[in-house]
Structures are given as structure tokens and as C-alpha cells.
Amino acid sequence: MKLSIIIVNWNVREDVVNCLRSIEENQPRCEYEVIVVDNASTDGSAEAVRQQFPWVRLIVNERNLGFAAGNNVGLKKASGEYVLFLNSDTIVHRGSFDGLVSFMDANPDVGGCGPKLLNQDGSLQPSARRFPSLRGVLHRYTILRFLLIFRGAHHKWLMKDFAHDKQMDVDQVMGAALMARRSIVEQLGGMGQRYYMYYDEVDLCYGIKQAGWRVAFVPDVVITHLGGRSMNRMPVDRRVMTLRSMLTFLRKRHGRAKIAMFNLIFKPGVILLNLCDLGAGAVTYVLAALASDRKRRERGAAKASKAAELLFRYSWQILFKI
């Protein structure tokens, strides 16, 4: 078997059906298998996959194990030389699989690679990054963003200087479509199950590079990624999961003692940022209401509401638990 495609699904029946249909219409030339791991969906996803795609190997978990653990369930059943971790909210294009497999075959020192990702409207979805730096993280998630402090480090982390138009080695590619040599992933113990969701692909790419392999971005291969559909229903929960997973990765890379010192600035900075967002959202709402600007008023209300929810529900957890 050349290729194993692993898709973890949770309550996005329409997306996983469309993803599998795109695979069916754009099959790779090599021998392959598709493994769908359903994380205890309640929307009929598993039944839809079973009925419409009998050629898919379906695994139904009794509970939601999260993204990383779900992928590891699929990995244990995979037999391909290469494994492609593919999000359920993706649409593959003609030649997507063949391009990635050919690239891996032609570059035996590459341990993992990822394609160019497009948004639903066809615009670029940046999908290659450097590993997060402490300064970049402080700018992105704390009050320092308002002061423009460490903005350059943030842009460097997100590779704002990269047009995603040429093949090159990178630190990490987005986990929406990440191909790796199965032997390497297994040697690393699979995806890190300390990550319920988010930063699991960052950790995997870090492990691949630490083991002496390259990670590459391959722009000649294109896949559409709709983006975060199963988590869009819980934006504040998503934000806290991101913070937790990011700190887990930073502890692995920099050590617990250094990150403990970092958190003395980072965690209060997160709270202060959300306090500012709460105030800014409230002011925007009031001014927009006076100007009868409905859309701006809704944006202000949403910003204030999300910040308030994070502050009242998660401040203690952010400061002392994650």
C-alpha cells in the first residue's frame, strides 16, 4: 500500500461527505486506502459515510477523543508507506494526491510535506509557518498587540514575508493536509495526545525535524480548506484550547522553567488584552448604535461578548490551570 488517507470527523456530516466525494472523483493513481475516524458524532456522520462510501474504512469512537488521538486511532489501522492527515472540511483537486506522493518519492530526505491551501472562494490560505517564538506569541495573544510590541517577531512566525508561491523547506505546514512517512510518525509515537486539538501538527513537524528530516511546502499541489467548521460553534472554547495547546508545545521546546517565567508576563497579558477587547467592543457598539450602523454594532457586540465570556468563564483557568 502506497498511501493511507486518515480523516477525523466530528459533527460535520456535510463536510465529510463532500470531502469523500472529492476523493472519489480525484483518486490517486497509486494503491491507497481511506480511513475515517468518527469521534462520536451525533449528526449522523457515521451513518452517511457507511451508506454512501462503503469502500471507506470507518472507525466509530465511543467518545470524542480529540483530533490528535483520533488520528492515532486511524494510524494504527493504516498500512500505507505515506500517511496523509486530511481534515474533514477539505476538498481535494485533481492530482492533489499524486503530486504529494511524487514529491515524497523524489525527495527521500523529506519526512513531511503540505500543499498550498485555498479558501472556499479560491483565495490563498497561508499554511506554512515558522515555529512560534516567545516574542511572537506575546504580540499575538497579549496586551502587547495594542502597543505593537514584538510585531516583527509575530510576522516572522507567521511568515508574512512568504508569498506561498515556491517550494521550500519550512518549520511546519498546516495539519489540514499533512503528508508524512508512516514509519517516521510511528517512530515518534504518532501525534502527541497531550494536544486535544491544535498544535498537534506543529508538534509532529517539530519531531520530524528534530529527527533529522526535512519538512517541505509544495505549492504545485492545491487543496481547498473550508476551515475550522466543527469548532466555529464554540469560538471562546476554541481560543482557550489554542492557548493550552500552544503552552504545551512551548514547554516541550523551551523547558518548563523558562515557560513558567514567560507565563508571568503572558497570562496576565492575555487577561488584559481581553479586558481591552471588552471595552473596545462596548465603545464600538455604542457609537455604532448612535450612528444606526447595524453591521458595526453587531461586530462590536460580538467582540465584547467573546471577551466577556472568556474573562468570566476562563480567567481562573488561564491564570492557574493551563
Taking only the tens place, the pLDDT of each residue in 8-66 is 999 999 999 999 999 999 999 999 999 999 999 999 999 999 999 999 999 999 999 99
Across 119-123, 192-196, 229-233, 309-313, least confident range: 229-233
Decide if 269 is inside a domain.
yes
HSE-CB of 145 using CA atoms within 13 angstroms: 19
> pLDDT at position 228, please?
55
Q: How many domains does the chain have?
A: 3
Query: Same structural domain for residues 149 and 168?
Result: no
Judge if 123 and 269 occupy the same domain: no
Q: Is the pLDDT of residue 235 over 90?
A: no
Boundaries of domain holding 170? 3-127+164-225
What integer pLDDT is reported at residue 257 of this predicted model? 97
Please name which of 98, 95, 100 lies closest in space to residue 115, comparing C-alpha atoms: 100
Angle between helices 235-254 and 134-141 (to 10 degrees): 160
Within this chain, do residues 107 and 151 fall inside the same structural domain, yes or no? no
Whether residue 67 is found in the same domain as residue 215:
yes
Residue 258 confidence (pLDDT): 97
Mean pLDDT to the nearest integer, 142-158: 95
CB distance 178 to 84 below 8 Å? yes
Query: Would you state the cell numbers that stand for residue 48, as one nine-digit string?
Result: 452517511
User: Which amino acid is residue 287, in one-letter code?
Assistant: L
Co-location of 81 and 152 in the same domain:
no
Indicate if 103 and 202 belong to the same structural domain.
Answer: yes
d(CA 251, CA 202): 13
Within the chain, residue ranges assigned H as helices are 13-25, 45-52, 67-77, 96-106, 134-141, 151-157, 182-187, 200-210, 235-254, 256-290, 294-320
Same domain? For 58 and 15 the reply is yes
> Has residue 233 been placed in a domain?
no
Residue 129 neighbours by CB distance under 10 Å: 21
The pLDDT of residue 233: 53
pLDDT of 232 > 60? The answer is no
Q: What is the pLDDT of residue 197?
A: 85
Cα-Cα-Cα-Cα dihedral sign, residues 219, 220, 223, 226: positive
Q: For 291-320, what is the mean pLDDT?
A: 93
What's the pLDDT tens digit per position in 88-102?
999 999 999 999 999
**Percent of the chain with pLDDT strictly greater than 90:** 92
What average pLDDT does the segment 294-314 reach? 93
For 53, how many CA atoms within 13 A lie in the half-sphere containing its CB? Answer: 23
Query: What value does the CA radius of gyration of the chain take, rounded to a whole number of Å?
Result: 21
Over 60: is that where the pLDDT of 230 sits? no
Last residue of one domain, picked from the residues 225, 245, 272: 225
Q: Are residues 190 and 301 in the same domain?
A: no
CA dist 121 and 249 (Å) reads: 32
pTM: 0.93
Residue 239 resides in a domain: no
- Residue 266, φ and ψ in degrees, nearest 5: -65, -50
Among the candidates 206, 225, 244, a domain finishes at: 225
Binning pLDDT at 50, 70 and 90, where does residue 137 land? very high
Position 193 confidence tier, pLDDT thresholds 50, 70, 90: confident
The whole-number average pLDDT for the span 212-232 is: 85
Mean pLDDT value across residues 138-159: 96
Q: What is the pLDDT of residue 234?
A: 59
- pLDDT at residue 231 above 70? no
The amino acid occupying position 313 is R
Q: Mark whether 87 and 16 lie in a shared domain.
A: yes
pLDDT category, 80, cuts 50, 70, 90? very high
20 DSSP 8-state letter: H
In a shared domain, residues 146 and 293: no
152 and 202 fall within a common domain: no
Q: What is the CATH number of the domain that holds 53?
A: 3.90.550.10
Q: Say which DSSP state 180 is in.
A: E
Q: State residue 187's pLDDT score.
A: 97
* Cα distance between residue 71 and residue 67, in whole Å: 6
SS3 11: coil
